[in-house]
Amino acid sequence: MSYELLTILSLVCIGASGLLILTGLFFIKTGRRELHKKAMLSASFLALLFLVFYLTKYFMYPPKHYEGPYRGLYLFIMVSHSILATLNLPLAIVTVFLGLTDRLSKHRKIAPVTALVWVYVAITGWLIFGFLKLGGG
* CATH number of the structural domain spanning residue 26: 1.20.120.80
Provide the residue range defining the domain that includes 21.
Answer: 3-134
Query: What per-residue confidence (pLDDT) applies to 64?
Result: 84
11 and 126 Cβ atoms separated by less than 8 Å: yes
Query: Using the 8-state DSSP alphabet, how is residue 137 labeled?
Result: -
Query: What per-residue confidence (pLDDT) applies to 56?
Result: 96
Least confident span in 23-27, 29-33, 66-70, 100-104: 66-70
**Predicted structure pTM score:** 0.89
Indicate the number of domains in the chain: 1
Mean pLDDT across the stretch 88-113?
97
What does the alpha-carbon distance between residue 58 and residue 32 come to, in Å, rounded to a whole number? 38
- Cα–Cα distances (Å) from 37 to 48, 66, 104, in that order, read 16, 38, 12
